[in-house]
């Protein structure tokens, strides 16, 4: 895994894929290796391998809510970092369905806003604001979204 991560950091994606491949050959590949592989396949644009690795990560959770939520948060963060907001939103929503969390809800609001879905972002920030006793960052974000969008000349 360390070698694959080094290649990934250096931007040598093909070498990273070759380095991680032996670890993926095990029936019970370590979760860390699968996460590195997901990062590699996303960077390579290999959708089939990415889906297969994501399915293996989900399978390793054996349906445990917390573990599944963490896997979906990880996948969402990968997609979000790559600018694939629709995929990120789907993963963050799956995380929140598995186990509702503030982290997932903040991610949902952030990605919805990035996608231009102000209504979805606003509703999510308002929900977080209520949970925070009507004060804090989520309330400020909700307030900012309630203002009319500025059209730049």
Mean per-residue pLDDT of the chain: 94
pTM beyond 0.95: no
What integer pLDDT is reported at residue 76 of this predicted model?
Answer: 98
What integer pLDDT is reported at residue 151 of this predicted model?
Answer: 61
User: Using 50, 70 and 90 to split pLDDT, how confident is the model at 150?
Assistant: low
User: Using 50, 70 and 90 to split pLDDT, how confident is the model at 149?
Assistant: low
What integer pLDDT is reported at residue 153 of this predicted model?
Answer: 61
User: Average pLDDT of 35-48?
Assistant: 97
Q: Which two tokens stand for residue 121?
A: 């972002």
CA angle at 116 for the pair 112 and 117, rounded to the nearest 5°: 50
110: left (phi over 0), alpha (psi -120 to 50) or beta: alpha
User: Average pLDDT of 110-126?
Assistant: 95
What integer pLDDT is reported at residue 128 of this predicted model?
Answer: 94
User: Using 50, 70 and 90 to split pLDDT, how confident is the model at 152?
Assistant: low
What integer pLDDT is reported at residue 72 of this predicted model?
Answer: 98
User: Average pLDDT of 82-102?
Assistant: 97
The predicted-structure confidence for 125-139, as pLDDT tens digits, reads as follows 999 999 999 999 999
């Amino acid at each position: 895994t360390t070698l694959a991560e080094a290649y990934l950091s250096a931007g040598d994606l093909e070498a990273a894929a070759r380095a991680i491949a032996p670890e993926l050959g095990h029936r019970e590949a370590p979760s860390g290796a699968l996460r590195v592989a997901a990062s590699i396949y996303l960077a390579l644009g290999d959708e089939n391998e990415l889906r297969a690795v994501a399915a293996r990560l989900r399978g390793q959770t054996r349906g445990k809510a917390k573990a599944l939520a963490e896997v979906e948060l990880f996948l969402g963060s990968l997609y979000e970092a790559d600018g694939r907001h629709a995929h990120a939103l789907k993963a963050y929503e799956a995380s929140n369905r598995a186990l509702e969390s503030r982290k997932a809800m903040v991610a949902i609001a952030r990605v919805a806003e990035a996608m231009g879905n102000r209504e979805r972002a606003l509703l999510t920030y308002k929900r977080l604001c209520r949970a925070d006793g009507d004060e804090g960052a989520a309330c400020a974000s909700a307030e900012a979204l309630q203002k009319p969008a500025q059209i730049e000349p």
